[in-house]
Structure 1
Amino acid sequence: MAVLVTGANGFIAKYIVNDLLNEGYDVIGVVRSQAKADLLIKQFGGNPHLVMEVVNDITLLDAFDSVFQKHAKEIEIILHCASPLPSEGNDYEKTHVLPAVNGTVSVLEAAKKYAAQTVKRVVITSSVAAVMDPAKHDGSTFILDENHWCPLTLADAHGNSHTAYMVSKTKAERAAWEFLEANRKEVRFELATLLPVYVFGPQLFKEDAVGGLNYSNGQIQSVLCSSPGGELEDNTFKNFVDVRDVARSHLLAFQKAGAAGKRLLLCKSLYSAQDLANILNERFPQLKGKIAEGPNPGKYDVNSVVTQHFRAEEILGLKYKTLEESVYETVSQALEVGLRT
């Protein structure tokens, strides 16, 4: 049995590939360039159970046809991780929505055309963004609910790439559920979507941390690279989950029968920038006096962080890593590669 992983060079996806290989699966990774494919092959030591394929443009509705024409008889599981993160530019339809929506539909269309009866489960990496409603978000009082859908449209973006990202993730996930409903009689596979919150944690390969941390970890980097007496950029409460738990969830989402047909929020706990500053100042004595302490400095207290429980913990059997563990290992790697030198 082979598992197809799209966007295989991503922060989360590399951990997914690693977990799959460690459990003995054959992996077909899809990336957007030969250079990225070559790097992954190198990073995974030329593992014979990892095969790479290149799909240059996932906005094409037949983008994945060539992959399935070649591997349809092998693929039983699809883990669709490819999707754009918030980026610069004003053409959000082109930079956000089309890659997210068409990338999702194209992989499902290819499965329908070439592997309708052999693909058993499709797991899509959605986002908490697909359930959020900024109009109702009020710090720690907002309760996330897997039954909610983000109501925003591109008309609400007004030059805000994060809003465009929220719209793209919502549209892409809706497109997946709508595809399955429309094609239920023609395909065998079940669908599960995973909706992680802000994802922290070290890179699987240390070299990937050189030069700067990725989007979610950028909040940790902001504190790490702050100055004494400086203000924390954003001290509102957000939600966190560790990258290794997100990766593990992708495997469990196709291994567990109960995950079929579910939207599963992946979330460990609430945190604030003050929590990040407290952890860095407490766990890294060499940073004390060199970074911001925040308005309420003090020893990090794990009991002060509110934990929210979602059905992913029950359905998948997850035991999440703590905020302190995740932040400590992220910063340790960042310091090792000289991020603050």
Structure 2
Amino acid sequence: MSSALNFPENSTVLVTGANGHVAQHMLEQLLRIPSVKVRGTVRTATSEAALQAVFGNYVASGSLEIIQIPDITQEGVFDTALRDCTHVAHVASPLVVGSTNVEDEVLKPALRGTLSLLASAEKANKLKSVVITGSFASVIDLMQDLRPGYTYTPKDWNPLTYELAADPALDLSRWPERYRPFVTYTTSKKVAERGAWDWWAEHKPAWDLSFVNPTYILGPYLLPVSREKLSFSCHLASGVALSSPKDNLPLIDFPHWVDVRDVALAHLLALTNPQARGERFILAPNKVPPSAFAKIAKERLGLHPSEEIQELPPMFDIDSRNCESVLSMNDWIALEDSLVDLVNQITQN
């Protein structure tokens, strides 16, 4: 995998939120490259200790440095972390679903965390490229529901606004029921991404900017993880795999899935490819209903999950062709392997 990553000699790569699901795989992939130094940020001493337990040898050798930044929304907090960095993968971002204070708990942290990183990046005189972890949430229009016949592309934008989502009187009944829990979260992703692009256009830094917008992410963790601490999407998929024969399956909402290791790789490829400048990459190689995970669990793991059968209704597609044309990503990790690797990990802990 590292052979596809063309980091110049003596590169220093900053990965924010380094203990997160995607970021920990970025660390692992970057640390395979001898000429690259990696710097990771975490919010707490507990998170730093978790990384030390897995990557301690790299810390001891000087290949990996870990920096604590308790609040990424504060101005200037990334200045030290970005010193002498040549590339930045900004992964740290809040994931809050069902907040009661949307503006303070969801919207402001998402936007301020991104703008804080960019403001510090403007001061970094060796910086060549920045890639930010976004989400398909900033692309989709939830009001359109399943939208059969429509194909989302990197030119599409979630139409929701900061002001709308921040309104305490927001009437969620205007949206299809399946998507109501995600309305404010998807708005935060759109607001943060649009804010980054607007900043980049206004400030015109020399370094490149791109966004990686994955759909549901699935796959194993490198750090130990309990079922209770899984990401939303991993909890959903593994919950189906470990369900009982008579259990009901989750509703079909976002049917596209991608392996966490491919998400990590996409960020690193974007950092090293000048053609990624100004691009949004939607990662969506698999399109399946939740029952697909029951089928995999039965066939590959010998489990006896829910027997409910689901068929995908007519619904939207996603155009991800720039993942292949720009990043040369055409050999995606199989969905079966993503689920099997995750379930084996959480059932063996």
Which TM-score band applies after superposition, normalised by the shorter structure? 0.7 to 0.9
Structure 1 residue aligned with 2:208, among 190, 196, 205?
A: 190
Query: 1:228-280 CA deviation, whole Å, 9 max, x = no partner?
Result: 21211224561011000000111100111211111111111211012111111
Query: 1:261-300 CA deviation, whole Å, 9 max, x = no partner?
Result: 1111111121101211111112122x23xx2111359xxx
Q: Runs of 5+ in structure 2 lacking a partner?
A: 1-10, 173-179, 312-316
Question: In the TM superposition, what is the alpha-carbon distance from 1:55 to its structure 2 partner?
Answer: 1.1
| Paired residues for 1:105-184 under 5 Å | 105-112=115-122, 114-115=123-124, 117-138=125-146, 141-153=149-161, 155-156=164-165, 158=171, 161-184=181-204
Query: 1:72-118 CA deviation, whole Å, 9 max, x = no partner?
Result: 2x201111001111345311112211221111111111121x31x32
Structure 2 residue aligned with 1:35, among 46, 58, 83?
A: 46
1:91 and 1:236 map into 2 onto residues whose CA distance is 24
What letter is aligned with 1:19?
Q
* Partner residue, 1:334: 346
What letter is aligned with 1:49?
S
Range with bigger deviation, 134-143 or 74-83:
134-143
Question: In the TM superposition, what is the alpha-carbon distance from 1:158 to its structure 2 partner?
Answer: 4.7
Structure 1 residue aligned with 2:230, among 213, 217, 222?
A: 213
Query: Does the CA-based 8 Å contact 1:268-1:308 persist in structure 2?
Result: no
SS in 1 for 2:232: coil
Question: In the TM superposition, what is the alpha-carbon distance from 1:214 to its structure 2 partner?
Answer: 1.8
Structure 2 residue aligned with 1:79, among 69, 83, 89?
A: 89
* Partner residue, 1:316: 327
* Partner residue, 1:52: 66
Range with bigger deviation, 235-244 or 170-179:
235-244
1:135 and 1:88 map into 2 onto residues whose CA distance is 18
* Partner residue, 1:292: 306
2:201 and 2:228 map into 1 onto residues whose CA distance is 44
* Alignment TM-score, normalising by the size of structure 1: 0.87
Query: Does the CA-based 8 Å contact 1:264-1:311 persist in structure 2?
Result: yes
What letter is aligned with 2:326?
I
Question: In the TM superposition, what is the alpha-carbon distance from 1:308 to its structure 2 partner?
Answer: 5.7
Question: In the TM superposition, what is the alpha-carbon distance from 1:61 to its structure 2 partner?
Answer: 2.5
* Partner residue, 2:246: 229
1:310 and 1:94 map into 2 onto residues whose CA distance is 36
Is the counterpart of residue 246 in structure 1 residue 263 in structure 2?
Answer: yes
Question: In the TM superposition, what is the alpha-carbon distance from 1:139 to its structure 2 partner?
Answer: 6.2
Question: In the TM superposition, what is the alpha-carbon distance from 1:210 to its structure 2 partner?
Answer: 5.2
Aligned residues: 317
Query: Does the CA-based 8 Å contact 1:202-1:330 persist in structure 2?
Result: yes
Q: Structure 1 residues 293 and 284 mapped into 2: Cα distance closer, same or farther (>3 Å)?
A: same
SS in 2 for 1:135: helix
2:116 and 2:39 map into 1 onto residues whose CA distance is 17
Query: Does the CA-based 8 Å contact 1:269-1:307 persist in structure 2?
Result: no
Could you say which structure has the greater relative contact order, defined with CA pairs below 8 angstroms and 6 or more residues apart?
Answer: 2
SS in 2 for 1:167: helix
Range with bigger deviation, 188-197 or 32-41:
32-41
2:142 and 2:277 map into 1 onto residues whose CA distance is 29
What letter is aligned with 1:268?
P
Identity of aligned residues (%): 32
What letter is aligned with 1:335?
T
Question: In the TM superposition, what is the alpha-carbon distance from 1:309 to its structure 2 partner?
Answer: 4.3
Q: Structure 1 residues 313 and 65 mapped into 2: Cα distance closer, same or farther (>3 Å)?
A: same
What letter is aligned with 1:7?
G
Question: In the TM superposition, what is the alpha-carbon distance from 1:141 to its structure 2 partner?
Answer: 3.9
SS in 1 for 2:233: coil
Structure 2 residue aligned with 1:18, among 25, 28, 33?
A: 28
Query: Does the CA-based 8 Å contact 1:268-1:322 persist in structure 2?
Result: no
What letter is aligned with 2:203?
N
What letter is aligned with 1:76?
T
Q: Structure 1 residues 293 and 142 mapped into 2: Cα distance closer, same or farther (>3 Å)?
A: farther
* Alignment TM-score, normalising by the size of structure 2: 0.85
CA root-mean-square deviation: 2.1
Structure 1 residue aligned with 2:108, among 95, 98, 121?
A: 98
Query: Does the CA-based 8 Å contact 2:140-2:157 persist in structure 1?
Result: yes
1:239 and 1:140 map into 2 onto residues whose CA distance is 15
Query: Does the CA-based 8 Å contact 1:238-1:270 persist in structure 2?
Result: yes
SS in 2 for 1:67: coil
SS in 1 for 2:297: helix
SS in 2 for 1:208: coil
Question: In the TM superposition, what is the alpha-carbon distance from 1:65 to its structure 2 partner?
Answer: 2.8
SS in 1 for 2:100: coil
